[in-house]
A and B are shown apart, each in its own frame.
Chain A
Amino acid sequence: MWRFANPAIFYDLATTASPWAAGISLLLLGLGAYLGLFVAPPDYYQGEIMRIMYVHVPAAWMAMFCYGVMAVSSASGLIWNHPLAYVAAKATAPIGMVFTAIALITGSIWGKPTWGTWWSWDARMTSVLILLFLYLGYIALWNAIEEPVRAARTTAILALVGAVNLPVIKFSVDWWNTLHQPASLMRADAPAIHSSMLMPLLLMALGFTVFYIWLLLLRMRGEILARRVRGLRLARVQAGQN
């Protein structure tokens, strides 16, 4: 396992895996979008507007999943001091931020015809907005600190502190009275959703997950090369001084 955590070996593996991840994610997303937009029946209560849920719900799951990955990678970085752990956390942040933005925007567009408002300061929506700010803060902090090791450690602490927000998002609909409805799928008893609607939802969720892996591999490869470039430049400056 640790053998694959070597940046050079990981880079080669990621280069091989990237096109596969790209192909699989596009296939899953294409199929999920087709089923969600054209095949799945309209919802009994919500009607056609329910079709927004096929992109909103998986995006919201990914927003939380990406932050979870960021927090676990950051913790691994702090404990084992492995550079790839920090690279994974740094590479995940912009992808997670985009999924959070998608969840907020699509939720808002769904809310207008359903609730009659674009936005409500209820616990679920507010905690997801805080998640977006956490991502933004994390990225800003990485860019603000020039020294890479210090930047990695400081941002890792921010990621870990921010992880407190994840259970708040998940249980906000149970802990407080919210306009946002409670969970339909991830609940103790059976999912409260028909299989004709469950299929596009799961395909989109799986498609988003593989899409995330694809972009993670791209960004991690970019970051590994950036470190190599930094190393070469530093060596050149030192050689010039001697």
Chain B
Amino acid sequence: MGDFAAYIWSAWGIAGALLLAIWRTSDGLLRRQMALLATLEAEEKS
């Protein structure tokens, strides 16, 4: 990749980091709601 390696890896690295970040927030959102719902349903039963 020669002289452009820093540019190329920066671009791919930033893209990867952003994709990872949006996956983590999406997954976190789902897990948080699952935990909340489980708590609420457990309270309903008790």
Interface residues of A (CB under 8 A from B): 33, 37, 47-49, 51-52, 55-56, 59, 94-95, 98, 101-102, 105-106, 109-110, 112-113, 211, 215, 218-219, 221-222, 225-226, 228-229, 232-233, 236
Please report the C-alpha to C-alpha distance between residue A48 and residue B18 in the assembled complex, in whole angstroms. 23
Contact of A218 among B11, B21, B26 (CB under 8 A): B26
> Is B4 a contact of A105 with CB atoms below 8 Å?
no
Give min CB distance, A24 to chain B, whole Å: 15
Please report the C-alpha to C-alpha distance between residue A109 and residue B5 in the assembled complex, in whole angstroms. 12
Contact of A225 among B2, B15, B19, B34 (CB under 8 A): B34
11 contacts between A and B (CB under 8 A): A48-B4, A51-B4, A55-B12, A94-B25, A95-B26, A98-B18, A102-B15, A102-B19, A113-B7, A215-B26, A225-B37
> Is B22 a contact of A225 with CB atoms below 8 Å?
no
On chain B, the number of residues with a Cβ less than 8 Å from chain A's Cβ atoms is: 29
Q: Which 5 A-B pairs have the closest CB atoms?
A: A225-B33, A222-B30, A222-B29, A106-B11, A109-B11
Residues of chain B within 8 A (CB-CB) of A94 are 22, 25-26
> Is A221 a contact of B30 with CB atoms below 8 Å?
yes
Give min CB distance, A102 to chain B, whole Å: 5
